[in-house]
Amino acid sequence: MVTIQSKWRYLFMFLGIQLVVMALLSREGYQKRVSYFIRIFRKPDTTGSSGRNHTTAGIIGGDVYANLSHLSKGHSHGDDMPYCPKTSPLIGGPIHVSFPSGLTLSEVQRKNPLVVRGGRYRPPDCEARHRTAIIIPHRHREHHLKFLLYYLHPFLQRQQLNYGIYVIHQAGNYTFNRAKLMNVGFREAMREEDWDCLFFHDVDLIPEDDRNTYVCDSNPKHAAIAMDKFGYKLPYKMYFGGVSALTPLHYLKMNGFPNNYWGWGGEDDDIGVRVSLAGMYITRPSLKAGRYKMIKHKLDKGNDVNPKRFNMLAKTRQTWKLDGMNTVEYEIISRQYLPLYTNITVNIGTEAGLHPHPTPPPPAKAAGKPAADAPAVVAEKSPAKPPAKQKEGHSGK
């Protein structure tokens, strides 16, 4: 008798559970519920690599666009706006980074409606505490640039920064010069806005953690300390490559970056040495925060390994005051305020100077008239008209 009763009890319990499950399935759609059940039975991801769930700021699955949807246009930037909190409430933890095929710049634009002309942004509902410019040296890496913009815009917005993105594009096919492009970027960005921090940023490095805040420290900061390509470890103590952050004062104190490293390698170490020669030291975020993914690539055409780099590096102590911001020479070819960034195309010349092959003077009879084939020596082909200073607030694109 006792056995029959408990059999009935189990049968009723079983039927009851089935009813609850069916009710849940029918309420919000079968697929959603199934994935929900699968998720609760799966072990939580403890490696911190992909698909991480962070409750700190409500970021689910580390989606880089999480937490931005409630920000809306239409707030006015009056004088009475409160400062943003010291730590942004929108910041989460790790971000899941992948490179979906078929992504377009207009898709990136659509996903970032509050970014205005020239790739500028200010938080719509509070006064930013920091003004950060991102300087990206660039040539023939449009594919990488698209992914960087896709990840960087929402990442910076979540940090409640007033920011601008500058792409410094080297004109022509002469050997690439990353550090000189940074000097150009520094001068041109500072001409437009009183930035209090500049991030010098390789085009192919994607930050993987929200806690890597793009603000400056009291000393030059090396941000890209844990990259996938180096097994998420710092490769060596003085390493300063990839992404670094300096205030204008830091930058000028070390006379900027060297102008004479043509081709791949050495310039990052030279910059690291300059930091200490100028009496400063390198700060770094935690290994957890300073994680980056590098988009895989080969050495570019026009950026061969610089064979002189070791000899040059041995002389940084003698050269840093003689070469840098105080000697940089270049010509702006164009300046475009694009929806997602400001593009500055620049002629930085060659190792032999800005105009290595000066045109011979025109024949006597044509004196006074410029020769038809003389290279155009223009400081600026398209006149610079920076976007309205951001005090006025978002005015749309």
Which CB sits closer to Mn ion, 298 or 369?
298
Contact partner, 139, from ligand UD2, Mn ion, none, Cβ < 5-8 Å per class:
ligand UD2
Structure tokens at 189: 């960005």
Considering only 120, 122, 138, 221, the residue that binds ligand UD2 (CB under 6 A) is: 138
Figure out which of the listed residues 204, 268, 269, 331 binds Mn ion, where binding follows CB under 5 A.
204
Tell me whether residue 207 or residue 265 sits nearer to ligand UD2 (CB atom).
265
Nearer to ligand UD2, 92 or 285 (CB): 285
Kindly state the tokens that stand for 27: 């309420």
- The DSSP secondary-structure symbol of 256 reads S
Q: H or E element: which one contains 269? A: helix 267-277
Asked if 354 and 329 count as a contact pair (C-beta separation under 8 A), the reply is yes
- Per CB under 6 A, the segment of 54-62, 72-80, 196-204, 359-367 that binds ligand UD2 is 196-204
Structure tokens at 224: 């890209």
Q: Is 204 in the site for ligand UD2 (CB under 6 A)?
A: yes
Stretch that binds Mn ion, among 3-11, 47-55, 71-79, 204-212 (CB under 5 A): 204-212
Site membership for ligand UD2, residue 250 (CB under 6 A): no
Nearest of 87, 92, 90, 96 to residue 71 by alpha carbon:
90
CB of 187 to ligand UD2, least distance (A): 18
Is residue 315 exposed (0-12), middle (13-18) or buried (19+ Cβ within 10 Å)? Answer: exposed
Smallest gap from Cβ 271 to ligand UD2, in A, equals 9
For residues 61 and 63, give the distance between their C-alpha atoms in angstroms, rounded to a whole number: 6
Regarding 342 and contact with ligand UD2 (CB under 6 A), the answer is: no
- With H, G, I as helix, E, B as strand and everything else as coil, classify residue 133: strand
Smallest gap from Cβ 150 to ligand UD2, in A, equals: 16
Q: Report residue 5 as tokens.
A: 């009763």
| Of 345, 156, 151, 182, nearest in space to 256 by CA | 182
Here the tokens at position 344 are 């500055």
Q: First CA to last CA across the chain, in angstroms?
A: 80
Q: Does 202 bind ligand UD2 (CB under 6 A)?
A: yes
- If one asks whether residue 113 binds ligand UD2 (CB under 6 A), the answer comes out as no
Chain residues binding ligand UD2 by CB under 6 A are: 136-141, 176, 178, 202-205, 227, 241-242, 264-265, 267-268, 294, 299-300, 302-303
